[in-house]
Structure 1
Amino acid sequence: MTNPQATTSPRTRDQRRADTLAMLSTPVRDVWVATASVADDGTAVPYLVPLSMAWIDDRVVLALEATSRTGRNLLATGTGRLSLGGTRDVVMIDADLERSVRVAEAPPEIAEGYAAQADWDPRPGGADDVYLVLRPRRIQAWREVDELPGRLLMCDGEWL
C-alpha cells in the first residue's frame, strides 16, 4: 500500500506548524513519553509509555501517578521526549518539566482543560496523582524523507 502523502510536495514550515498545533490540540490525543533514569551501576535505563495528554497554554500536560516510573523519571531529570502520530506523520517534542501540580490542588485551567481535551478526569483518582506541565524546548515534524530537511519547527522554546 502506498502512502497518499508521498505523492505531495513537502509542506512549508508554516503548514507544518499549523498541522502540529492541530495535532496537539486534537481531543483525546495520546502521546508516547520517553524518559530515562540511571541504574545503581550507572547505566541508563530508558522507559517508554503511552499517555493521554492535553495542550494547554502552549504546554503539554500529562496526568499520572507521581510514583510511576515515568513520573519519577520526569520529576528527577526534568526532561522527556514525546512523540505524536505515526511514523509517516510524526511530531517529536523534547520538553522540560515546568512544574508539577498535585491533581487535588490543580487550578481549574489545568484540571478542567485536561479533562476536556484528554476525555478523562484524574481528579477522582489516587492521592499520588499529579499533572506534569511540560514546556516544549524543541519540536520537529515530518511525514516522508522529503520533509526531513526543515523538520525543525521549534528551537530553544521558540517557534522558527
Structure 2
Amino acid sequence: MSDVARSREQRKADTLARLAAPVLDAWVATDGPYLVPLTLAWFEERLIAATDGASPTAKSLISTGRARIGIGPTRDVIMIDAVLERRLPVGEAHEVGEAYAAQNDWDPRTAGPDYVFLVLRPTRIQAWREANEIPGRTLMRDSTWLP
C-alpha cells in the first residue's frame, strides 16, 4: 500500500481515463437480485449500457430507474451510483451507438432490434485504491464533480 493518497484532482483524472478507455467492463447492480457484467461506454458524461430490452437487468433498470456500477479490481475501484436518463432502441440511437461502438469491441446495433441502449447519468462517483484513499473517495455528488 502506498503511504501517499492521490489528490482529488489525480483521482478524477485517473477515473476519467478509465471511463474513456477501450472496452469498459463493469459489474452492474439493479434493484432486483441482479448483478451482471456489462460493457459500457462513457459519452458526454454519461454511461451507456447495451443489453436485450427484455433481459431482467433492462427490465429492473427501466422499472426502478437506478443502478450501482463497479469498475476495476478491489484495490483500484470506481463505484458509481447512476439514474436512468433514457432508453433508446439500438436502431434509433445513432450518436450514442457510434460512441458505444467506437469505445468497445462490439456494436450492439448489429444484435437485432430487441437490444436497447440505456443512458445512465452518474449521481455519485467514488474512487479509491487502498484504505488511505477511503477518506475523500467521493469525487461526484448530486451529479456534480466536487472541487
TM-score, structure 1 length as denominator?
0.89
Provide the C-alpha distance between the structure 1 equivalents of 2:43 and 2:2, rounded to a whole number of angstroms.
34
Aligned pairs, how many? Answer: 146
Amino acid at match of 2:101: A
Provide the C-alpha distance between the structure 1 equivalents of 2:28 and 2:4, rounded to a whole number of angstroms.
30
Superposed counterparts of 1:9-48, under 5 Å: 9-37=4-32, 46-48=33-35
Determine if the alignment matches structure 1 residue 111 to structure 2 residue 97. Answer: yes
Instruction: Answer whether contact 2:128 2:137 (CA < 8 A) is retained.
Output: yes
Provide the C-alpha distance between the structure 2 equivalents of 1:128 and 1:10, rounded to a whole number of angstroms.
45
Note the residue ranges of structure 2 that are not aligned, 5 or more in a row. Answer: none
Please name the residue that 2:116 is paired with.
130
Q: 4+ residue stretches of structure 1 with deviation over 6 A? A: none
Note the residue ranges of structure 1 that are not aligned, 5 or more in a row. Answer: 1-5, 38-45
Instruction: Answer whether contact 2:87 2:117 (CA < 8 A) is retained.
Output: yes
Provide the C-alpha distance between the structure 2 equivalents of 1:141 and 1:130, rounded to a whole number of angstroms.
28
Provide the C-alpha distance between the structure 2 equivalents of 1:140 and 1:16, rounded to a whole number of angstroms.
9
Shift in Å at residue 127 of structure 1? Answer: 1.9
Superposed counterparts of 1:136-147, under 5 Å: 136-147=122-133
Larger Rg: 1
Please name the residue that 1:89 is paired with.
76
Percent identity (aligned): 57
RMSD across aligned C-alpha pairs, in angstroms?
0.8
TM-score, structure 2 length as denominator?
0.97
In the TM superposition, what whole-angstrom CA distance separates every residue of 1:23-81 from its partner, at most 9, and x where no partner exists? 100011101100123xxxxxxxx210011110000000011011101100100000000
